[in-house]
């Protein structure tokens, strides 16, 4: 009997959108999806913003998605030590992470066009300023 692979998808999911869902759905075809969710402190440190939705709530949202089996806290930068510690068999990411190399197999999918949490954040800020007047 084949053991179901433990598939890591690491993400910030600061503002969850359909691109995230599509990636998680694809990842679920390879095994049990474990989301390595970036901590609030690492988002501040590496992306220079405090997430609109805090880690605990982002984790709750992700756990409610049918493609996700488990959510674990992670640093923004994932390494082989983290992968080994969490018994990961496969890493799946968007194509913007193709330069990362791990000892385990990695699969990269093209990003969903015209969507990102940063784009949503910028649009929301513009709409907020327009509606303030």
User: Domain residues of the chain, as ranges?
Assistant: 6-132
Q: Domain spanning 6-132: which CATH class is it, in words?
A: alpha beta
State the pLDDT at residue 1: 41
**Residue 101: both structure tokens together:** 């190399």
Q: Give the count of alpha carbons within 13 A of 92, CB side only.
A: 23
State the pLDDT at residue 3: 61
Q: In percent, how much of the chain has pLDDT > 70?
A: 97
pLDDT tens across the length of the chain (133 residues): 456 799 999 999 999 999 999 999 999 999 999 999 999 999 999 999 999 999 999 999 999 999 999 999 999 999 999 999 999 999 998 877 777 888 899 999 988 888 888 888 888 888 888 887 6
Contact 109, 23 (CB under 8 A): yes
Q: Give the count of alpha carbons within 13 A of 39, CB side only.
A: 8
Contact 115, 18 (CB under 8 A): yes
Q: In percent, how much of the chain has pLDDT > 90?
A: 66
Contact 33, 68 (CB under 8 A): yes
Closest CA to 4 of 21, 27, 25, 20: 27
Distance (Å, whole) CA 77 – CA 72? 14
Distance (Å, whole) CA 131 – CA 133? 5
């Amino acid at each position: 009997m084949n053991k179901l692979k433990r598939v890591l998808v690491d993400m910030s999911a600061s503002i969850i959108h359909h691109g995230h869902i599509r990636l998680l759905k694809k990842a679920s075809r390879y095994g049990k999806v474990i989301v390595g969710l970036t901590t609030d402190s690492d988002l501040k440190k590496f992306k220079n913003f405090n997430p609109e939705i805090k880690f605990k709530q982002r984790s709750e949202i992700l756990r409610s998605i049918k493609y996700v089996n488990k959510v674990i806290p992670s640093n923004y930068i994932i390494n082989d030590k983290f992968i080994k510690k969490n018994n990961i068999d496969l890493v799946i990411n968007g194509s913007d992470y193709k330069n990362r190399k791990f000892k385990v197999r990695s699969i990269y999918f093209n990003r969903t066009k015209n969507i990102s949490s940063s784009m949503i954040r910028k649009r929301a800020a513009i709409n907020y300023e327009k509606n303030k007047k």
